[in-house]
Structure 1
């Protein structure tokens, strides 16, 4: 049996940061990506069969930088009319802090997803490929260039988030100094 190739697609998409949560879209339906001479789109329903498994949220597709997963409930995925939506509870790790800082500053490049295409999961019309069914392995927060350039990126941080975190760190440091001294 031939093994399906693992593929990745990146996109500049609407992502919102609020507290330690990141939410938005990892993929949108109907947006066109140019991959060499091929033009690719994702059909509504393409992710429906893949949402029941254990899907990871990673930083830059790095399995050493897990941000969440569906099995633990820290990553929630669902399809709506627009595409593959996600809600991610960022961990209190260096990778989570980095993503939060980049989202707050507006520096995130977008989202990506890693997938394979099962038999019958794509339709070809000349150099046009439509993904109709995919096996989703992971979504990633990335700083790379998008495969789906027609999408938009709208990163918004909760007002006062940076200042509130700075004050919280100062209080923790003061507590530690009191306990040590």
Structure 2
């Protein structure tokens, strides 16, 4: 299986607070983890990414998925196991709702999201199936994630990616060429054509 990957998607997180019969309030946040078939920002300067509709179906039926505060496994906000995290695919994307815990990090999350300081969602996953296409007009690749093994979702203020050295190894593992490599190949080909014309 591939290495765990984290993707950040800026999106609007909604906040709701409702009173219960016992007098305590239930605080729920929700929105979309990712919207289907929308192109990501350029990743590592080499490729765009999209998530296909249906990419999460198997994972949602097989996995216990956690909601974490900024990818911190010691700050659990919810879980699909006890339905404090609810995830489902609709025509737009992967929707989520989290009933926040009544503890310090649940309170911090609620306050930061309500103020708008935290307005994005990341998700941690492994790729089960993907497809690559080279977009000649843009000189970039586009990756479509067809099936994702989802582990966790996280409200977070910033994107979280592995360091650039790991990223470069990952690009090479995909078997794609970088812009620099394509430029060198083109220069080599033009040189060979010039040499053939001289002979």
What TM-score comes out, normalization by structure 1 length?
0.76
Aligned to 2:54: 45
**Separation of aligned partners in 2, 1:21 and 1:109:** 15
Q: Secondary structure at the match of 1:50?
A: helix
**Separation of aligned partners in 2, 1:128 and 1:146:** 20
Q: Deviations over 1:107-143 (max 9, x none)?
A: 113001000012xx10011211000100000000101
Unaligned runs of 5+ in 2: 18-26, 135-140, 162-199
| 1:94 shift after superposition | 1.1
Unaligned runs of 5+ in 1: 148-181
How well do the aligned residues superpose, as a CA RMSD in angstroms? Answer: 1.4
**Separation of aligned partners in 1, 2:4 and 2:105:** 24
Q: Secondary structure at the match of 1:144?
A: coil
Contact 2:70 2:154 in 1 (8 A): yes
**Separation of aligned partners in 2, 1:75 and 1:134:** 18
Question: Which of 32, 35, 53 is the matching residue for 2:39?
Answer: 32
Q: Which has the higher helix share?
A: 2
**Separation of aligned partners in 1, 2:48 and 2:113:** 30
| 1:146 shift after superposition | 8.6
Aligned residues: 143
Q: Secondary structure at the match of 2:147?
A: coil
Q: Which piece of structure 1 moves more, 71-80 or 29-38? A: 29-38
**Separation of aligned partners in 1, 2:3 and 2:12:** 28
Moved over 4 A (4+): none
The alpha-carbon distance between structure 1 residues 11 and 146, as it changes in their structure 2 partners (threshold 3 A), is: farther
Question: With CA pairs under 8 Å and 6+ residues apart, which has the higher RCO, 1 or 2?
Answer: 1
**Separation of aligned partners in 2, 1:61 and 1:24:** 17
**Separation of aligned partners in 2, 1:24 and 1:43:** 18
The alpha-carbon distance between structure 1 residues 136 and 69, as it changes in their structure 2 partners (threshold 3 A), is: same
Question: Which of 17, 22, 30 is the matching residue for 1:23?
Answer: 30
**Separation of aligned partners in 1, 2:157 and 2:34:** 15
Question: Which of 78, 83, 86 is the matching residue for 1:73?
Answer: 83
Question: Which of 93, 99, 105 is the matching residue for 1:83?
Answer: 93
